[in-house]
């Protein structure tokens, strides 16, 4: 259980990357009073956590109804996570996230907590895929599922903390610090993604 908890926490914290989405948060909430900015950050983290928790609870049921085997999803999900990691290493993900935040402001989206903060920045395709993969590893284990939900809540809390300290974090890390951190997290995520593909391939060959 401890190994799963550690693996799940590392996977989700790397995919969501609370510190990495701080620049997009600052861009999306630019011009808002400090109190309103804090409210938006808390609401975004809550919405993102609810999306991921719902994915953890209903993901396996949905895959079964669609007739998708877990090995196949592990392979495809691992590939998708590797793409996310590739973007992080090359530095294209932060630029895309900032662009999405700017577009949301330009379009005068009423609730920026839901878009673009909760999704796709917190509960994006990578985080949803990772949650599905993790839930698939513990199918039928209620205790492990509770641990996964708790980890999702912890990651959401980390996002809230990053948002509350957004200006300080951005100023401390600077452009270079953000770039280096994103590259390092991307390498870790790439290794996790490859492991998902290996596990899925092994399971497929064993059942084949």
Average pLDDT of the residues in 6-16 = 93
pLDDT at 57: 94
SS (H, E, C) the chain: CHHHHHHHHHHHHHHHCCCCCHHHHHHHCCCCCHHHHHHHHHHHHHHHHHHHHHHHHHHHHHHHHHCCCHHHHHHHHHHHHHHHHHHHHHCHHHHHHHHHHHHHHHCCCCCCHHHHHHHHHHCCHHHHHHHHHHHHHCCCCHHHHHHHHHHHHHHHHHHHHHHHCHHHHHHHHHHHHHHHHHHHHHHHHHHHHHHHHHHHHHHHHHHC
pLDDT at 100: 57
Average pLDDT of the residues in 80-101 = 69
Task: Examine the pLDDT at 165 and tell me if it is beyond 60.
Answer: yes
Average pLDDT of the residues in 16-31 = 82
pLDDT confidence band for 22 (50 / 70 / 90): confident
Cα Rg for the chain, rounded, in angstroms?
17
Short-list 134, 206, 185, 160, CA closest to 14: 185
Q: What does the pLDDT look like over 58-80, one tens digit per residue?
A: 987 887 888 887 788 788 878 88
pLDDT at 67: 84
The parent domain of residue 174 ranges over 2-207
* Mean pLDDT for the chain overall: 83
| Distance between CA atoms of residues 141 and 148, nearest Å | 11
Q: From residue 25, give the alpha-carbon distance in Å to each of 96, 118, 121, 153, 183.
A: 13, 10, 9, 19, 20
How many domains does one find in the chain? 1
The larger pLDDT score, comparing residue 122 to residue 30, is at 122
Task: Examine the pLDDT at 110 and tell me if it is beyond 50.
Answer: no
pLDDT confidence band for 143 (50 / 70 / 90): very high
Which range scores top for mean pLDDT: 66-75, 98-107, 173-182, 197-206?
197-206
């Amino acid at each position: 259980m401890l190994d799963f908890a550690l693996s799940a926490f590392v996977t989700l914290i790397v995919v969501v990357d609370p510190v990495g989405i701080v620049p997009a948060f600052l861009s999306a909430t630019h011009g808002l009073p400090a109190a309103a900015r804090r409210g938006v950050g808390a609401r975004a983290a809550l919405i993102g956590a609810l999306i991921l928790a719902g994915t953890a609870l209903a993901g396996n049921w949905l895959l079964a109804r669609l007739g998708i085997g877990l090995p196949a999803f592990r392979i495809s999900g691992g590939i998708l996570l590797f793409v996310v990691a590739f973007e992080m290493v090359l530095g294209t993900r932060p630029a895309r996230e900032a662009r999405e935040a700017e577009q949301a402001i330009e379009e005068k989206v009423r609730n920026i907590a839901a878009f673009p903060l909760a999704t796709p920045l917190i509960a994006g395709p990578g985080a949803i895929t990772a949650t599905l993969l993790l839930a698939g590893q513990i199918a039928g284990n209620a205790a492990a599922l509770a641990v996964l939900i708790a980890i999702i809540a912890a990651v959401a809390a980390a996002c809230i903390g990053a948002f509350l300290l957004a200006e300080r974090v951005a100023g401390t890390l600077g452009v270079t610090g953000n770039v280096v951190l994103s590259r390092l997290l991307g390498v870790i995520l790439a290794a996790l993604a490859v492991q998902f593909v290996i596990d899925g391939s092994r399971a497929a060959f064993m059942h084949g």
